[in-house]
Amino acid sequence: MSPGTESRRSPIWAILPVKQIDAAKQRLSNVLSAAERQELFRNMLADVMLAISQAKLLAGLLVVTRDVEVQALVRQYGARLLLTDTDEGQSAAVTAGASMLAREGVSSIITLAGDVPLMTATEIDTVCRGLAAAPAVTIVPSYDETGTNSIACSPPRIIPFMFGESSLPRHLCAAHEHGVKPRVLRLTGMALDIDVVSDLAQLLRYETTTATQRLLIANGIAQRLELQQMRAPGYAGAEVDSQVKQ
């Protein structure tokens, strides 16, 4: 990561927790083999790292992981590493990263996820610009408005991190409990995290040049998912809801 002039003035550090690649995306095991899931995750992480590297308002990136392959990949982008002994989940990883940065005097952080391949540098900068003076919390919800795909906060540990199902209302409540009126930003690319088959189908509705979509098409996964959908009861043809050009 090579911050520009604008980013050197920014106090905002990104935290990216990344689990073991060989354990990634287990909820897709009904449609993808272990090897396909691992390759999918590698490509999603590559898309995310590219977006982060192009963001202008980040002071730096801290990746929390224990995976050796992930460590090698993110080092190519100049990321700092916080190595863990076990995978204790996204919330624990982000908490550990935020605590470390807070001890070093970092005033603001933004949490990012490695399974959001449509995320763009512009969206990251939008969240950074939208973070008010401390105390402040800005949240980017998942597209179904139940999960939390990114949190920017100042100071870094102003609220507890509680990622997972129905995390959006928990984070909103936590902000109010700590005397902060949270800001909610709805961003198309950041909203789509890939966990289940319907997420893959949603991703394929967008016009992109991401490594993730190229993989799905080149490996025949997109065609396989379309055939599976066509066999499903009530199938009435694919509809393209919107387009995102990357």
- Tell me which range, 23-32, 53-62, 233-242, is most confidently predicted by mean pLDDT: 53-62
Mean pLDDT of 103-110: 97
Mean pLDDT of 39-52: 97
Q: Is the pLDDT of residue 17 over 50?
A: yes
Q: Residue 239 has what pLDDT?
A: 41
Q: Residue 132's closest CA among 161, 150, 102, 152?
A: 152
- The two counts, helices (H) then strands (E), for the chain are 10, 7
pLDDT band at 86 (very low <50, low <70, confident <90, very high): confident
- Total count of residues recorded for the chain: 246
Model pLDDT for residues 89-100, shown as the tens digit of each residue: 999 999 999 999
Strands (E), 31-125: 60-65, 80-83, 108-111
Q: Is the pLDDT of residue 243 over 50?
A: no
Spatial separation of the C-alpha atoms in residues 235 and 54, rounded to whole Å: 40
Q: Is the pLDDT of residue 2 over 60?
A: no
Q: Is the pLDDT of residue 64 over 80?
A: yes
Q: Residue 79's closest CA among 11, 17, 20?
A: 17
Three-state secondary structure call for residue 153: strand
Q: Residue 233 has what pLDDT?
A: 60
Pairing of strands 12-17, 80-83: unpaired
What percentage of the chain reaches a pLDDT higher than 90?
82
Model pLDDT for residues 116-137, shown as the tens digit of each residue: 999 999 999 999 999 999 999 9
Q: Is the pLDDT of residue 9 over 70?
A: no
Spatial separation of the C-alpha atoms in residues 42 and 48, rounded to whole Å: 10
Spatial separation of the C-alpha atoms in residues 224 and 33, rounded to whole Å: 13
Q: Decide if 139 contacts 188 (C-beta within 8 A).
A: no
- Between 88 and 180, the more confident residue is 180
- Between 48 and 23, the more confident residue is 48
Mean pLDDT of 212-241: 74
pLDDT band at 11 (very low <50, low <70, confident <90, very high): confident
* Average pLDDT score over the chain: 90
Spatial separation of the C-alpha atoms in residues 38 and 20, rounded to whole Å: 9
pLDDT band at 88 (very low <50, low <70, confident <90, very high): confident
Q: Is 82 exposed, middle or buried (0-12, 13-18, 19+ CB in 10 A)?
A: middle
Model pLDDT for residues 184-220, shown as the tens digit of each residue: 999 999 999 999 999 999 999 998 889 999 999 999 9
Q: Is the pLDDT of residue 242 over 50?
A: no
Spatial separation of the C-alpha atoms in residues 206 and 29, rounded to whole Å: 23
Q: Is the pLDDT of residue 221 over 80?
A: yes
What percentage of the chain reaches a pLDDT higher than 70?
89
